[in-house]
């Protein structure tokens, strides 16, 4: 049985835990392989005859592994985590000064979303909005990758602003999905 004391401390960052470099771009196959190996190392069956302390450490370690995996497999959560690792406190409630072009895009998408139900083919209009949101989110994720693949040289203010933009788009996507459900229910 592998000793939990031999494993790295519970204070490792998520990238260290998974033996990955701190970077926005993550090798998904390596992440999955490391996740499986880490899960096996702390599986409760391995600690069935262990002391109460080792069992407790196993449960804590399993929770840490699961949380780290959730963060690292999500581009948005991974970006936020990298920013926070660099010492920036990310405030979800902050109202940063957004780029005028981004704000215009938001207004146009919101207006289109508000008018979607009155269109002759609302499903088609909503599909266009969802496609525009998908494209905008991909663009932001690409910009985040540029900023955060080498966190030591990243413009963290820019990366934080991009995260806020992504939050705006996520909110708009959620609103779009609610309208999509309403349209489906009305059929």
CA-closest candidate to residue 84, choices 140, 138, 148, 39: 148
In this predicted structure, what is the pLDDT of residue 4? Answer: 57
Alpha carbons 91 and 85: distance in angstroms, whole number: 14
Q: Give percent of the chain above pLDDT 70.
A: 95
The class (CATH top level) of 100-185 is mainly alpha
- For the segment 82-120, what is each residue's pLDDT rounded down to a tens digit? 999 999 887 777 778 888 999 999 999 999 999 999 999
Whether 1 has a pLDDT exceeding 50, the answer reads no
Whether 2 has a pLDDT exceeding 50, the answer reads no
For the chain, give every domain's residue range.
4-73, 100-185
Whether 182 has a pLDDT exceeding 80, the answer reads yes
Q: Does 100 or 1 have the greater pLDDT score?
A: 100
In this predicted structure, what is the pLDDT of residue 90? Answer: 79
Alpha carbons 152 and 32: distance in angstroms, whole number: 26
The two tokens of residue 99 are 């780029």
Whether 63 has a pLDDT exceeding 80, the answer reads yes
The two tokens of residue 80 are 């936020």
In this predicted structure, what is the pLDDT of residue 186? Answer: 83
pTM (2 d.p.) = 0.82
Helix boundaries (H) for the chain = 14-17, 28-41, 52-73, 75-85, 100-115, 122-148, 156-185
Report the CATH superfamily, name and number, of domain 4-73.
DnaJ domain (1.10.287.110)
Angstrom distances, CA of residue 43 to CA of 63, 79, 141, 147: 11, 29, 34, 37
């Amino acid at each position: 049985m592998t000793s939990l004391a031999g494993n790295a401390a519970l204070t490792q960052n998520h990238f260290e835990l998974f033996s990955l470099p701190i970077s926005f771009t993550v090798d998904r196959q390596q992440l999955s392989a490391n996740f499986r190996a880490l899960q096996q190392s702390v599986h409760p069956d391995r600690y069935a005859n262990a002391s109460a302390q080792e069992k407790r450490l196993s449960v804590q370690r399993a929770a840490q592994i699961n949380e780290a995996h959730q963060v690292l497999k999500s581009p948005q959560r991974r970006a936020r985590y990298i920013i926070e690792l660099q010492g920036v406190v990310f405030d979800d409630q902050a109202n940063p000064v957004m780029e005028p072009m981004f704000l215009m895009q938001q207004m146009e998408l919101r207006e289109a979303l508000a008018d979607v139900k009155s269109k002759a083919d609302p499903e088609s209009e909503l599909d266009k909005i969802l496609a525009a949101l998908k494209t905008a989110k991909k663009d932001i994720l690409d910009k985040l990758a540029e900023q955060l693949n080498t966190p030591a040289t990243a413009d963290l203010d820019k990366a934080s602003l991009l995260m806020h933009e992504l939050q705006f788009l996520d909110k708009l996507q959620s609103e779009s999905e609610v309208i999509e459900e309403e349209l489906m229910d009305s059929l």
